[in-house]
A and B are shown apart, each in its own frame.
Chain A
Amino acid sequence: MTDEAVSFSPLPYRRTLAAVKFIAPLLALVVLWQAVVTVFAVDPRVFPSVPTVLRAGWSTIVDGTLVAHVGASLWRVTVGTVIAILTAVPLGIAMGVSKGVSAFLTPLFRFFSVLAGIAWIPIATLWFGYGFGAITFVIFNAVFFVVAYNTLMGVSTIPMPLRHAAAALGANRWQMLTQVLLPGALPNIVTGIRTGMGFAWRGLIAAEMIATNVGLGYMLFLARDFYRTEVIVFAMIVIGVIWLVLDRFLLAPLERATVERWGLVQS
């Protein structure tokens, strides 16, 4: 009756277990934190206790400032990422189709992928001034080069027989693009978006400390001026949690869906 046993350990149970395994270490850290703060009577100006952070968090929720900061940050990330994807994917495909062009541009894109993000903050503020433009540019920059580079890699690693097969079945240039190159590169594109948004999120926080008056990075930086360590820690937790939620419930499933469904071995 092993079959029955198998059918009685359904997916929801395994998911709950996975969630518990993921959250348990984080909870342990919170317990340890509170224990250390209590035992050593840590000065709240150095590090706050768990209850004060919870109270500070609650008050930012109640007075609406948290929503304003999170909203501003997410809006910038969304705009920057969408613009980056819309420009990087067509460019990456155009470059990936030609071996000569992709060989020439690959080093450039690797260079700018490494440089992407916070290194652009100073010059972005010179170009766009302080505020939405400069920060969105930093996000765009972080996502653009990584996605373009991954798209290029995705297209150039599509096995030649697949392109030959499509051509021999009568695909024209547009159909080659939509039916072969784009879906063939999609697993790489999604991986690029996931990596790029990881850079972007870090870059966003850094940029917001310098170049704006609203957003999670600004929330952190402002609290520092008033020695509000409980607000700083709360904002740090929010930054981490938002990224984990985004990555775990949006980006990772998207990546899994494309890579696993089609198999890693193509042709």
Chain B
Amino acid sequence: MKSLVLENLSKTYFDPYRGTQFTAIKDVSLQVGEGDFVAVVGPSGCGKSTILNMIAGFVPISGGRILVDGHQVKGPGPDRGVVFQSHALFPWKTVAENVTFGPKMRGVGKAERARIADEYLALAGLSHAAERYPNELSGGMQQRVGVVRALANNPDVLLMDEPFASVDAQTRMTLQEELTRIWEERRPTVVFITHDVSEAVFLANRVVVLSKGHVLAEVAVPLARPRSWTRLVEDDGFKALSNQVLQLVRSA
């Protein structure tokens, strides 16, 4: 896993209704060190998904630079793994085939792919579902597959775009705890986009608050790991940090 640097990133769209340029992102700079976990929060329309889409290479940038491991980003690539809100699993592939899609694309052989599938499905607690199809899984299981599919391709940076926003509250807490466990085990470099303040504080080492296309504040989260909801839900430090971030988001 390698570092990610955003330098004076900006994005302007042409607004066809007004006939003017619309600035979605203005001058965002951010450094995410190797093995760090950064959450980006902000109200809807603040541009957080636009930033992720630019880092992923799905959307061209208007100004500035994006560097992954020192190399400038040009379009999508396997150095940046993406976990989508809509899970985006291939419906015509089994769970195991989804997880090993990345390795297959770079020509990894069948036996090695089977080993990778075993390893990452075990990591997600999904070994029993290897031969099933995505539409046969629950929403929580689909998201688990989405996470390990990105991880199994061994990316430099893991980009997560509100991955747990569309599952129920109970499942979401479980998925958050599993993600912290996986992160503590493997230490991937993570950028996690969310509008959920407590999710951001629970997961990240650092929370970036975004407002109207620029960085409003960065808040460090020095909470001890491993983190679990049973402990943190009554933890004063967690509550204070969540409150602080919430105030920032609401002022945004």
Enumerate chain A interface residues (CB-CB to B < 8 A): 159, 161-162, 164-172, 175, 179-180, 183-184, 186, 261-263, 265-267
**Could you list 26 A-B pairs, sorted by A, with CB under 8 Å?**
A159-B88, A161-B88, A164-B58, A164-B88, A167-B75, A167-B77, A168-B76, A168-B78, A169-B78, A169-B105, A170-B105, A171-B101, A175-B105, A179-B101, A179-B105, A180-B90, A186-B92, A261-B92, A262-B133, A262-B135, A263-B133, A263-B134, A265-B91, A266-B91, A267-B84, A267-B91
B101 touches A265 (CB 8 A): no
B102 touches A267 (CB 8 A): no
- Asked if A261 meets B101 with Cβ closer than 8 Å, knowing A161-B84, A165-B84, A267-B88, the reply is no
C-alpha gap A217/B177 in the complex (Å): 69
A171 touches B135 (CB 8 A): no
B105 touches A164 (CB 8 A): no
List of 9 A-B pairs having minimum Cβ-Cβ separation, nearest first: A263-B135, A170-B78, A167-B76, A161-B88, A169-B102, A262-B91, A165-B88, A183-B92, A170-B105
Among B80, B88, B106, B135, the residue within 8 A (CB) of A265 is B135
A267 touches B87 (CB 8 A): yes
- A161 to B, closest residue via Cβ: B88
C-alpha gap A167/B53 in the complex (Å): 12
Enumerate chain B interface residues (CB-CB to A < 8 A): 56-58, 75-78, 80-82, 84, 86-92, 101-102, 105-106, 133-135, 149-150, 153
- A264 to B, closest residue via Cβ: B135
A172 touches B105 (CB 8 A): yes
A168 touches B80 (CB 8 A): yes
B140 to chain A, nearest CB (A): 16
B82 touches A166 (CB 8 A): no
A168 touches B135 (CB 8 A): no
C-alpha gap A168/B106 in the complex (Å): 12
C-alpha gap A161/B58 in the complex (Å): 10
- Asked if A170 meets B135 with Cβ closer than 8 Å, knowing A164-B56, A175-B105, A267-B87, the reply is no
- Asked if A171 meets B84 with Cβ closer than 8 Å, knowing A263-B133, A263-B134, the reply is no
B101 touches A159 (CB 8 A): no
C-alpha gap A131/B75 in the complex (Å): 53
> Which residues does chain B contribute within 8 Å of A169, judged by CB atoms?
78, 81, 101-102, 105, 149-150, 153
C-alpha gap A184/B105 in the complex (Å): 17
- Asked if A168 meets B91 with Cβ closer than 8 Å, knowing A175-B105, A265-B135, the reply is no
C-alpha gap A172/B77 in the complex (Å): 10
- B142 to A, closest residue via Cβ: A267
Among B58, B78, B90, the residue within 8 A (CB) of A162 is B90
> Which residues does chain A contribute within 8 Å of B58, judged by CB atoms?
164, 167
> Which residues does chain B contribute within 8 Å of A261, judged by CB atoms?
92, 133
B105 touches A267 (CB 8 A): no
A183 to chain B, nearest CB (A): 4
> Which residues does chain A contribute within 8 Å of B153, judged by CB atoms?
169-170
Most buried by A among B57, B58, B149: B58
- B79 to A, closest residue via Cβ: A170
A168 touches B56 (CB 8 A): yes
B248 to chain A, nearest CB (A): 30
Q: 14 more A-B contacts (CB under 8 A) besides A168-B77, A168-B80, A169-B101? A: A159-B88, A161-B86, A165-B90, A166-B90, A168-B81, A169-B102, A170-B106, A170-B153, A171-B105, A175-B105, A186-B92, A263-B91, A266-B91, A267-B89
